């Protein structure tokens, strides 16, 4: 079997669970050396063990993407250890749903800090490396919530809309350096994302909504990422919007 990503280095944020974890396994299975980032080191160690068992290569990095110094340190570490960064998957995120009126504004700060600032810090730190290589691919995970706003999701919508806008501006600034940019917009995916919602009412409503459909699996999004990053160099897959068949 041909490994499509042999000799490539992929940096994946938010790899300790859900979409990031599945993407790390899939990219490693295609031959990439995956640098996997999250705050929960124990979960990363477990992931590394599974990648190694399958014959893959992986480097764990415990870091908080909301902290720019930690982001710079993590990117420097990957460059020093692995020599290059071909693929960046900006996946780390939280979805702290709730009405605007009466919201705990700490939830807003966390979403903006992780979903927007974390993604931008990581991109900013990786870009000079990709420019020097004259080669790279940045995959940003937005959401259907980056395309459709809903009551109870306002600030999450802000962050994911921001990811879409940032991705398009980044594409226009980067294509001359052979850096491709893909934004992926999943609908509902069965992960632990909803477990972190702090507003009990919003959590209950989201749970009820999810009961009414068969969500996507993390592997479905990992497959979309693999599709985008394994296209020939001339192909820049700009955007992939994926809903579960039963989602409105």
Cβ closer to ligand NDP: 4 or 220? 220
Q: Is 23 in the site for ligand NDP (CB under 6 A)?
A: no
Q: Is 14 in the site for ligand NDP (CB under 6 A)?
A: yes
Q: How many residues at the interface with ligand NDP, by CB under 6 A?
A: 31
Q: Is 61 in the site for ligand NDP (CB under 6 A)?
A: no
Scanning residues 175 to 234, which ones bind ligand NDP (CB under 6 A)?
186, 188-189, 191-193
Q: Which of 29, 38, 183, 226 binds ligand NDP (CB under 6 A)?
A: 38
- 23/33 Cα distance (integer angstroms): 12
Shortest reach from residue 83's CB to ligand NDP, in Å: 23
- 39/65 Cα distance (integer angstroms): 9
Q: Which of 18, 136, 162, 244 binds ligand NDP (CB under 6 A)?
A: 18
Judge whether 156 counts as a catalytic residue.
yes
Scanning residues 82 to 121, which ones bind ligand NDP (CB under 6 A)?
91-95, 114, 118
Q: Is 60 in the site for ligand NDP (CB under 6 A)?
A: no
From 18-26, 73-81, 124-132, 232-240, give the range in contact with ligand NDP by CB under 6 A: 18-26
Neighbours of 6 (CB within 10 A): 10
């Amino acid at each position: 079997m041909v490994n499509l990503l042999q000799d490539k280095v992929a940096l994946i944020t938010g790899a300790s669970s859900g979409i990031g974890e599945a993407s790390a396994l899939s990219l490693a299975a295609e031959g990439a050396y995956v640098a996997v980032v999250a705050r929960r080191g124990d979960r990363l160690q477990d992931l590394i063990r599974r990648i190694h068992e399958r014959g893959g290569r992986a480097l764990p990095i415990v870091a908080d993407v909301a902290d720019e110094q930690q982001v710079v340190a993590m990117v420097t570490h990957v460059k020093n250890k692995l020599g290059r960064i071909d693929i960046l998957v900006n996946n780390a995120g939280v979805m702290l749903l709730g009405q605007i009126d009466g919201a705990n504004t700490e939830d807003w700060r966390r979403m903006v800090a992780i979903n927007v600032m974390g993604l931008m810090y990581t991109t900013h730190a990786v870009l000079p490396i990709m420019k020097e290589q004259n080669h790279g691919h940045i995959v940003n995970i937005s959401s259907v919530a980056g395309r459709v706003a809903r009551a109870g999701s306002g600030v999450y919508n802000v962050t994911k809309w921001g990811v879409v806008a940032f991705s398009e501006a980044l594409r226009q600034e980067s294509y001359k350096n052979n850096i491709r940019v893909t934004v992926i917009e999943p609908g509902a995916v069965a992960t632990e994302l909803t477990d972190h919602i702090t507003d009990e009412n919003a959590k209950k409503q989201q749970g009820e909504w999810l009961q009414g459909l068969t969500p996507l699996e993390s592997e479905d999004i990992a497959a979309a990422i693999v599709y985008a990053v394994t296209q020939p160099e001339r192909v820049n897959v700009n955007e992939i919007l994926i809903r579960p068949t039963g989602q409105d």
